[in-house]
Amino acid sequence: MACAACSGPPASSPSESMATSLPAIDRSAGAGAKASLNEVSGEVLLPMSAYWYSDRENVIVNSAVAFLIYDCVEEAGFTVAPWGGGGKALQDYRFGQWSRPLAARNGAMPEIREVPGVLDEQPERPPLSARQQEEEVKCTNSVGRAGLPELLEGLAGDTSLQHRITGNAVALTERDSDYLAYRKSWEDCVAGKGLKVAEAGSWNLSSSGSKEDEIRVALLDLECKEASGGARKPYDILAEYQAAQMKDHQAELNALAEEKTAAVERAKQILRDHGVADARL
C-alpha cells in the first residue's frame, strides 16, 4: 500500500465549468467563517473540510480497502505481502504560496506532507507471477471501494453536494469584489518589485529557475500579499462563501458527516480484524 493516500485539492479551479450555473449567494450569510492555515505543514482547513476525509482518514480508508483486496487475492490461492507505508498530501496552492516558512524552504513549490501509515513500509515486495498480477487486477475490480465512499475534494465526475458547495465557493470567490481588489493590489505590488505573473489569472510568478531565485521571488510574493491584506485573505473569503451555502443544506451535511464517521469506523474495524493495532489508527 505504498502511498495509501495521495491527496490534495485540484490544481486548477473548477470555476470555469460552473460559470454559467452559479447560485446567488450573499457572502455576509457566512460572515465570521475563517480558514485555518498551518504554516508548518501547509494544511488548510475550511468549513467544508469536515465533510471530506482528512489526510489521515483517507489513509485509513484506503488501507482497509487494500486489505480486502489482499483477502480476495489470498482466497484465489496466492500469498500477499502488503506494501505498508503511509501517504502524501499536497499543500493547498489555489492562491499560490501563503506560508513564509515554506516559502523560505520550498520557494514557489507546494509542500508535500507525509501522512503516517497503518503498517511500516516494506523494503521490497517479491516479484509477482503473471497469474497473480491478473488476479490482483480482478480483485481490485471486484472489491472496488467495498462500500466505503471516496470523500475527497476534486475527484473527476463528482456531482455530490459537498463538491457543488466547494466548487461554487471557489467560483464566487474569484468574482468577489474584495477578492478582485486584493488581487489587483497584489498584481500592482509584484509589478512594482519587477516581478511578472507567469500567466493571466495565475498566482505563479516567473523566476530564473534557480532555487535561490525561486525562494527570493516567493518571499517577495508574500510581502505583496501581506501588503494587500494578508496571505490568508482569499481563503477567508472562500470560507465565508462555503459557510453561506452550508446554512441551507445543514441537514444533508449532517447526514454526510455521519456517513463519513461510519465509513472511517468501519475501515478501522477492518484494519483491527487484520491485526493492525489501535495505536496505528
Digit-coded pLDDT (tens) for 239-275: 999 999 999 999 999 999 999 999 999 999 999 999 9
Tens-place pLDDT, residues 59-82: 999 999 999 999 999 999 998 877
**pLDDT the model gives residue 20:** 54
Average pLDDT, the chain: 92
Tens-place pLDDT, residues 22-33: 999 999 999 999
Can you tell me the mean pLDDT for 171-181? 98
Query: Could you tell me the pLDDT band of residue 9, with boundaries at 50, 70 and 90?
Result: low
Nearest to 223 by CA among 197, 203, 193: 193
pTM of the predicted protein model: 0.89
Q: Distance between CA 157 and CA 255 in Å, rounded?
A: 21
